[in-house]
Amino acid sequence: MRTLFQTIKQQFLEENDLVLVSVTASSGSTPRGAGSRMLVGKSGRISGTIGGGAVEYRAECMALDILEKKESCQHEFRLNHKDVENIGMICGGDVTAFFQYLDHNDPIIMEITETAEKFYEERKDFWLRDLLTTSGVSLYSPACGLIGTANVPSSVLSSLSAKPHRYHSEDYDLFSEQIGTSGTVYVFGGGHVSQKLVPILASVDFRCVVLDDRPEFTDPALFPGAVETILCDFNHLKQYVSITASDYCCVMTRGHSYDTIVQAQLLATPACYIGVIGSRAKKAAVFRRLIEEYNINEQDLNRIISPIGLEIKAETPAEIAISITGQMIQVRADRKATSK
């Protein structure tokens, strides 16, 4: 989503109108669910995707027509077996999409793109909201309030879900999705796996901070996509970071001793994810130390995922980084699914 906002701003500076296509509901076996978005300009799709195949093809054609009419609208795509065969779509099902016309002269939309970038930089929780009845669009952050035109009752604002959700009544029809989160990935150790991991995590919208006690492993050039690198003392992490329940921690320091020290401190935080690199033998040895030397109980140790990552028989640093990223995507999705 961050890239999408950046693209809107750049296209507006080039005086190009756009259409933002958002999936607001889906049923059956569709490739992408509610919250999927793509941006269409006069030359076709520019950014994002709503799943490819028949839905995306038809939506792109409709978006080009909307660019001429300059009017937002909603449309439901119903796909039968013949549609699937003719257009080459593997999945079937129905999709409802909202087509938001974006006028490059609209100062509110430009303000929204600039505010979104600011919110991403400042790690704010915020939502994108489309008012489907009047084609209003806005951002909402509990810390900063409303930016835009989609006014809705405060009761809705207080019950916003992390998941894409449609709020409907006689007075309003609103589609809302949390697109920014205060959560950060703290990577402890700046070695080969970390250097592969950070760019991949950043590419799927994780905010990454790398910590190491060796200056040569906190060089920002080693970590494309990281928002910060910190030279630290692993014995006193509280002096450098304050870890919240929205944060993820990946432990991959240069040895058992430092891994143990870091894990003992992380277990005292509410971090939503603590993953530790290493073999099962290493895990057993470290856990024994945590129990014997730090008085950590076995129930707390269950919070630690080790070996870190999905079991895909990864061997190289790049493969391990992919397995970790996959696991963290899964954790993030599960947390959204269980949010209010």
**pLDDT greater than 70 at residue 166:** yes
Q: Rounded to an integer, what distance in angstroms lies between the CA atom of residue 307 and that of residue 323?
A: 11
DSSP state of 179: E
Q: Which residue has the higher pLDDT, 45 or 176?
A: 45
pLDDT, tens digit, 9 for 90 and up, residues 52-62: 777 889 999 99
State pTM to two decimals: 0.69
Answer yes or no: are the C-beta atoms of 188 and 234 closer than 8 Å.
yes
Q: Give the mean model confidence (pLDDT) for residues 128-140.
A: 76
pLDDT of residue 266: 98
Which residue has better confidence, 177 or 61? 61
Structure confidence at residue 90 (pLDDT): 46
Q: How large is the average pLDDT for residues 307-318?
A: 96
pLDDT of residue 82: 55
pLDDT reading at 217 higher than 70: yes
pLDDT tens for each residue of 195-204: 999 999 999 8
pLDDT at 52: 78
Q: According to the model, what pLDDT value does residue 86 have?
A: 43
Q: Which residues contact 42 (CB under 8 A, 6 or more apart)?
A: 16, 17, 64, 67
